[in-house]
Chain A
Amino acid sequence: MLGYRAGRLDPMIDPRMDEAPLVEAEGLKVHFPIVSGILQRRTGSIRAVDGVTFAIARKETLGLVGESGCGKSTLGRALIRLRDATDGHVRFEGRELADLSGRELRRMRRRMQIIFQDPFGSLDPRMTVGAIVAEPIETHRLARGRAKEERVRELLTLVGLDPAFTSRYPHEFSGGQRQRIGVARALAVEPGFIVCDEPISALDISIQGQILNLLMDLRERLGLTYLFISHDLAAVRHISDRVGVMYLGRLVEIGPSSAAYTSPAHPYTRALLSAVPVPDPAVERRRRRVILVGDVPSPADPPPGCRFHTRCWLYERLGRPEDCRLVEPELRSVNGDHAAACHYAERAMHSDLGVVETALEAERP
């Protein structure tokens, strides 16, 4: 079952891994200025994304998890230049996105798309479904007249909607159906890369599975690459080849899903996993949990050293080592392509805290 995705990316079987990655971020920073007073003077900045480096291979799905406000969505938007990077690089198919002119960027939009969290806010209430799905086709002059209408119907069918819906308005649909319309719009330009920005978190639990399956099905059929942003750890595990964990604008752990879930190397990842309820009372009673205390520090003024040390259970357990407070840990490999940004990652890996893998495995068919 893991092999469903992992197998494809085994470099022995799939030589694509040797190719250049589809999307790369290098030292990416996105800061938002804080302005105050009538003179609009800049008094500081929110460091939403603060130095993130990673790559996504073709046809790979990278899951991105983290608490609210950790910069996941901003990172996703910066990858397709819906937000401009403050510093660092984003390369798509080897091309530096920041260097593209307005026109080149608009042309590049054919290659990368986004699916939004809010299925109610992301569709223009004054446009029919047909017009919404046709807009990308018209914008890039992909088809016109009859062919365009045919393509719209085809896209609606592809996402599991009745093609007769083209003349209806978004308010006539349920959340799940609206999300499908959003998916159809994103697919209209035949993109290679789609940022899924919490595409299921606004939906009913019964609909979440449907949309998740739809996304996985489309990935198979169309050979898509996803950045899947969510705080639903089980969903991310289900859909992703690799998982990245963000905390306060930094990537603190990244690695194959199996490794990140069975032997997390960052204390934060362990804390996150331990917050996932286990549907088996026996396991739930047995396992040891970490409760994160306090709030996430302000991204305008992150703590020095390791950003997580103010809430870290391992830091406390190790007797508050000095380097956690002084030296910012870099992302380093702990095992092959499994990397974590913790001075004591090996210690974290050998803990049994938070891991619920056996339970997660057990619930699967």
Chain B
Amino acid sequence: MKDALGSVGSVLVLGGASQIGVAIASSLAAPRNATVVLAGRHDHSLADAAAALERAGAGRVVTVHFDAADFASHDRVIESAADAAGGDLDVIVVAFGVLGDQQADEAGGDGAVRVATVNYVGAVSAGLAAARQLRRQGHGCIVALSSVAGERVRRANFIYGSSKAGMDGFFQGLSDSLAGSGGSVLIVRPGFVRGRMTEGMRPAPLSTTPEAVAEATVRALRDARAVVWVPGPLRAVMAVMRHLPRALWRRVPG
């Protein structure tokens, strides 16, 4: 149960090995030793993340198997996570996602469909299951990790970008649907995050870190915001970018 000053009792991370997801869980759980449930596909990376969370001060860390593409299991995973947390999930972080390989995926194979399936369809399915949990408990917040890449989709990464655009739009609508239910949604739109997912890539301007995203997310949760950009100035930058002529926008490098 969240308290008057925003301290939480439990956090669920869907995509439990995600660096940003774990950083958010860590910032939320550490001050009061809250319970964290990590839901993900790979037991060994979940175990590593769990160990890191315990070192950071989380009270109890539980792991549960979760596959974003196994839609039928989503309700069950969230209910079992709630049971493991002792009843309620105060914050549910939707942190899973894959980047894909734009060039290779354009050339063929099932990579593009996988990106769309995990990042968009998986988010729709898990997002709705999470919302049902918030309605059952009459409170709680979904943190949806979107991306600046979805704000205006670019030539250089339009498969990933469009999946995030769809996901972002879905959570905007879900947020409105939860009005009056006690539940809410916070959409987080980070820019280029220097981390495991982007290893070997050249950082874009206004790049950020998982820790900075976590800090901004915790603050936005406390202030009951609906959307947060990380870093903050990206919001203004993207407001301009949205209106660049297509001929120019097409050439923005990846």
User: Are A and B a genuine interacting pair, yes or no?
Assistant: no
